Chain A
Amino acid sequence: MMPEHRLVGLRIREKRLDRGLKQASVAETVGISPSYLNLIEHNRRRIGGKLLADLARVLDVDTGLLADGADRDTLDQMRVAAAGLSIQVELDRTEELAARFPGWAALIAEQARKIAALEERSQVLTDRIAYDPQLAGSLHEVISAVSAIRSSASILVGPEDLDQDLQRRFHENIHKDSVRLADSSEALIAYLEAPEGVLEQSGSPFEAVEHFMQKNSWHLPVLEEGAVPTEVLKTAGLEGPAKTVLRRVLADYAGGAAKLPLAPFEKACRKFNYDPAALAQNFNVPLMMVMRRLAHLPPDKGHPPMGLVICDAAAALTLVKSVPGFTIPRSVGACPLWPLYGALSRPHQPIRMDVALPGRNGTRALCFAVAEAQGQGSFDAPPALQSMMLVMPDPPETAADPYPVGVSCRICPRAGCASRREPALKGMDIQTVL
Chain B
Amino acid sequence: MGKRVLLIEDEPNIIEAISFILSRDGWTVHTHEDGTSAMDKVLAMPPDMIILDVMLPGRSGFDILRDLRGHDTTSQTPVMMLTARGQEKDRDLAMRLGANLFMTKPFSNAEVRDHVRNLMEA
By a beta-carbon cutoff of 8 Å, the part of chain A in contact with chain B is: 136, 139-140, 143-144, 146-148, 150-152, 154-155, 158, 160, 166, 169-170, 173, 176-177
A139 to B107, CA, bound (A): 16
Q: A140-B84, A173-B13, A177-B13 are in contact. Are A146 and B105 (CB under 8 A)?
A: yes
**Which of B18-26, B31-39, B73-81 binds A?**
B18-26
7 contacts between A and B (CB under 8 A): A140-B85, A143-B105, A148-B14, A151-B13, A170-B16, A173-B13, A177-B13
Interface presence of B11 (CB below 8 A): yes
B107 and A151 form a contact (CB under 8 A): yes
Q: Which B residues touch A146, using CB under 8 A?
A: 105-106
A152 and B13 form a contact (CB under 8 A): yes
Closest chain A residue to B105, Cβ basis: A147
Further 20 A-B residue pairs, CB within 8 A, beyond A139-B84, A169-B16: A140-B84, A140-B85, A144-B84, A144-B105, A146-B105, A146-B106, A147-B84, A147-B106, A147-B107, A148-B11, A150-B107, A151-B13, A151-B109, A154-B108, A154-B109, A155-B21, A158-B109, A170-B16, A173-B16, A173-B17
Interface presence of B55 (CB below 8 A): yes
Q: Closest CB of chain A to B7's CB: distance in Å?
A: 12
A31 to B20, CA, bound (A): 102
Q: Which B residues touch A177, using CB under 8 A?
A: 13
A396 to B16, CA, bound (A): 79
A144 to B106, CA, bound (A): 7
By a beta-carbon cutoff of 8 Å, the part of chain B in contact with chain A is: 11, 13-14, 16-18, 20-21, 24, 55, 84-85, 105-109
Closest chain A residue to B21, Cβ basis: A155
Q: Closest CB of chain A to B14's CB: distance in Å?
A: 5
**Most chain B CB inside 10 Å of its own CB: which residue of A150, A151, A154, A176:** A151
**Most chain B CB inside 10 Å of its own CB: which residue of A144, A158, A166, A176:** A144
Closest 9 A-B residue pairs measured CB to CB?
Answer: A151-B17, A143-B84, A147-B105, A148-B13, A147-B106, A173-B13, A154-B109, A146-B106, A150-B106
A158 to B107, CA, bound (A): 15
A158 to B108, CA, bound (A): 12
Q: Which A residues touch B55, using CB under 8 A?
A: 140
Q: Which B residues touch A150, using CB under 8 A?
A: 106-108
A96 to B101, CA, bound (A): 62
A155 to B84, CA, bound (A): 20
A427 to B84, CA, bound (A): 51
A136 to B84, CA, bound (A): 10
Q: Which B residues touch A140, using CB under 8 A?
A: 55, 84-85
B84 and A151 form a contact (CB under 8 A): no
A150 to B24, CA, bound (A): 18
B14 and A147 form a contact (CB under 8 A): yes
B14 and A144 form a contact (CB under 8 A): yes
A151 to B14, CA, bound (A): 7
One of B11, B20, B85, B105 near A155 (C-beta < 8 A): B20
Q: Which B residues touch A160, using CB under 8 A?
A: 24
Q: Which A residues touch B106, using CB under 8 A?
A: 143, 146-147, 150-151
A353 to B16, CA, bound (A): 70
A176 to B16, CA, bound (A): 13
Closest chain A residue to B109, Cβ basis: A154
Q: Closest CB of chain B to A109's CB: distance in Å?
A: 37
Closest chain B residue to A161, Cβ basis: B24
Q: Which A residues touch B11, using CB under 8 A?
A: 144, 147-148
A152 to B109, CA, bound (A): 9
Q: A139-B84, A140-B84, A144-B84 are in contact. Are A155 and B109 (CB under 8 A)?
A: yes
Closest chain A residue to B54, Cβ basis: A140
A252 to B49, CA, bound (A): 56
Q: Closest CB of chain B to A121's CB: distance in Å?
A: 22
